[in-house]
Structure 1
Amino acid sequence: MVNFNGNLVDVSDPILTQENRGYKYGDALFETLKVVNGKIFFWEDHYFRLMASMRILRMDIPMNFTMEFLETEILKTVEANQLIDSSARVRFNVDRGNGGKYLPNENSRVNFNIVAEPKHDPFYSINSDAIYTVDLYKDFFMAPGLLSGLKSNNKAIQVIGSIYAQENDFDNCLILNTKKNVIEALNGNLFLVKGDKIKTPPLEDGCLKGVMRKQVLQILSKDVNLFVEETSISPFELQKADELFITNVIKGIVPITKYRKKIYGSEFAQKLVIKLNTKLRLNP
């Protein structure tokens, strides 16, 4: 079942028209959520990121878009798909409705739709034997700015980058900005470990304002033995790192084990994922 503006409809029923602005112009935003046993992980962070993004895109936020209302609609969708007592991946999508060209019609109304699907790993884990290979994606570059940090439906670089990765037998690729700094992976934020120093690209470089990125930074900030810095990362630094890992809400922490000829360990990432799961258990 799909939730369209609060109504549960069959997944095979059409809910979007050809005039939908999200379809025509990518005039839409989304949040990818992990829901376990009726709990939305990091819901407050997702909610406020969505509201801030809607303001940046100058969407008229409906009065009923409160945190409580949207949470209820998400859980209603999860329950309708018989996933309330298990683990689910949820996509919450908002668009500006129908009509207009680039300029929306004055009567365009914000829509939302929610889709839930099974996700069989309730807590985060790392397979220490897994091989995860990445390379740089250099066909196109991300321009730094407010828009590059939004989870909008305009994900052309991520789409063609994913095709490039598949064609070349990579598990993922790292994206560069127009200054040729590494800013993120195709599907998550990037962290670099070198001794007691941890780096992640700053938002100003054009990376996504990731919810899991925020959680990891909060955990790292409590360790007085680490020096954590949000700073630009050049491609040259990647092969000098002890570890590289990717973060996102669905998978948590994904260690990179190979970049070009460099092989990386995952000891730091494995310790970090334990702290992440502990944080989730302590915050019911």
Structure 2
Amino acid sequence: MSEEKLAFVGKQVKDIYGTFIGKVVGIITEIDGEIESVGVDCGSAGIKQLPYEQLVVQGDFVFFIPKWRLEAQKLIRQKSLTLKRIKALHEIVAENDGMKEDAELVSIKYEKKLNELNEAEKAVGDKLAARLAELDAEAKQVKAVLFDAKLQFRSNEMKEETYQQVKINTDELVEHINNERTEIGNVRAKLSGLTIDNITTDSAATTTPTAPTVDSVPATATTAEPASHSSTTADSHGEPVTATPAEEKPITVTASSNNNNEEGHDAAWLNQVIQQQ
């Protein structure tokens, strides 16, 4: 096993929205030495085994990519390509009617694949709906913590400094939840927009989702740095005024962070979804 794959042992783990998960304490390997999962110390929640293919090393951190995000990205790529090939077949037949018989044989193959992808899309849609329900429940818990802190502050049971710290921490959690909600909404929009009418076979323009342009992927990834919290300004009563979430900034990700993923993580895509904290 290469030292590169062992380099993340001891690093802190966050999800791609910035929520702290725990610390890497060890790994579990297959009989051939390949990493199967990573053991993460989650405090009172115990040690959790996270699938290796869902982890990306980034500077001093290891980022965990939700499975729904990987599945949705794979589905978008496959459905986009399948629709483009079906449309290309239609265009070939329209240009040359003599190719109709040959095209029909190939068309059956891709129509079958499209039906399979539509079924997969329903499954992904159910997972996205379930995740949104989880996020709603988490948001309610965070709001309950903040509201209880506000009661303690108003009743002089809690110092203003402590209340402000609670507000900062809960604002961070709400921002992470909102970031994930937004991304789920974007994924749903991309999936619903993948139709034969919206697909173009022109190589210069495609409905396949694109990530920000990356000139080059550096050999060493940039370490995530804390974002400023503009939402901590207090009013005349010592209570903070809620501000808009901080602007999201992508982190540069090393393309070879995880060589065990058979599908492979697209560096540009990860630069888009992993946010600086």
Tell me the TM-score normalized by structure 1.
0.24
Higher-Rg structure is: 2
Which structure features the higher share of helix residues?
2
Higher relative CO (Cα under 8 Å, sequence separation at least 6) belongs to: 2
Tell me the TM-score normalized by structure 2.
0.25
Which structure features the higher share of strand residues?
1
